[in-house]
């Protein structure tokens, strides 16, 4: 019986000259496309404007890329980028932080809610986090293919030996393997998948859940970032400065999201469900019987 797994997957699908098509990029693109389909189906079921889904897609793509990149720059590697400002734009060289992406999306949804839907931003976020959880699964799978963001050494039989000199190996060098380590990318992907299944089920099978503003968002924050907080204990630090920290940067950045999630859940459970009519106006609180399919409402004369 093997005591470890030697991981030799290639990060790239194929190479054309100096241009690489990587699994990470493919998974990222698939995630956004599937996410658009999910959002479009949710919006259609609630009979909102078809254009809202397309506009949201643009907002989220821009916010995710900019937020995740700036999150990496400022949270993890400012010492380097402060001396090499031009390298901030070299996203193709790697360096994205999920916490920065989350903050970028929150800012984008505030703008989207203010200028597009005219609804509480929690309405959008409760729906957006469902495909976001699915995208998170694919991103961690991409990290696995890249031999990056793995855990500390372990003697468990499912420990992975990752290639440490991936770039050199891609150009013909012999691989240098890590010690058998926790495949934390897989741990996180499985936890994110469980979160996706949970909030997906809440939206489609529990009608009240999607109308309790902030409930699905709060569950997403708690599940995703508490998972991240725990797994960080067995994950290799991403930057050298984290070595002397009691909690690493990923854990410190997760705590505010966990607390925000708890507050959102408590708030949502204590308050009555909120409904919107098909024109997008927020009516006064109505009895649920007035909202078959959660879209029909009384119109005040």
Nearest one of 138, 229, 250, 146 to 190, comparing CA atoms: 138
Q: What is the pTM of this model?
A: 0.82
Q: Which ranges constitute the DSSP H helices of the chain?
A: 23-45, 51-71, 78-81, 98-112, 121-145, 166-170, 184-205, 207-211, 215-231, 249-270
Confidence of residue 284 (pLDDT cuts 50, 70, 90): very low
Percentage, residues of the chain above pLDDT 90: 54
Which range, of 3-17, 86-100, 246-260, averages the lowest pLDDT? 86-100
**What's the half-sphere exposure (Cβ side, CA atoms, 13 Å) at 222?**
15
Reported as a single tens digit per residue, the pLDDT across 207-237 is 889 999 999 999 999 999 999 999 999 998 8
């Amino acid at each position: 019986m093997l005591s470890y797994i030697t991981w030799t997957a290639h990060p790239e699908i194929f190479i054309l000259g100096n241009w690489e098509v990587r699994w990470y990029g493919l998974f990222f693109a698939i995630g956004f496309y599937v996410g658009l389909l999910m959002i479009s189906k949710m919006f259609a079921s609630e009979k909102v404007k078809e254009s809202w889904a397309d506009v949201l897609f643009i907002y989220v793509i821009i916010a995710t890329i900019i937020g995740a990149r700036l999150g990496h720059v400022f949270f993890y590697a400012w010492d380097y980028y402060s001396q090499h400002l031009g390298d901030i734009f070299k996203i193709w060289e790697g360096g994205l932080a999920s916490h920065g992406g989350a903050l970028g999306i929150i800012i984008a949804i505030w703008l989207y809610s203010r200028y597009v839907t005219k609804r509480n931003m929690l309405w959008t976020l409760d729906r957006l986090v469902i495909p976001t959880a699915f995208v998170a699964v694919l991103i961690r799978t991409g990290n696995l293919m890249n031999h990056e963001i793995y855990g500390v050494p372990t003697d468990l039989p499912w420990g992975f030996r990752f290639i440490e000199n991936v770039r050199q190996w891609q150009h013909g060098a012999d691989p240098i393997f890590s010690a058998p380590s926790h495949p934390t990318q897989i741990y996180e992907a499985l936890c994110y998948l469980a979160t996706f299944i949970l909030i997906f089920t809440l939206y489609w099978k529990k009608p009240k859940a999607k109308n309790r503003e902030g409930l699905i968002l709060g569950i997403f924050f708690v599940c995703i970032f508490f998972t991240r907080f725990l797994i960080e204990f067995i994950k290799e630090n991403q930057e050298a400065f984290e070595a002397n920290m009691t909690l690493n940067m990923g854990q410190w950045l997760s705590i505010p999201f966990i607390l925000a999630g708890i507050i959102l859940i408590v708030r949502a459970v204590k308050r009555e469900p909120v409904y919107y009519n098909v024109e997008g106006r927020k009516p006064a609180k109505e009895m649920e019987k007035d909202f078959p399919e959660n879209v029909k409402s009384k119109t005040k004369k």
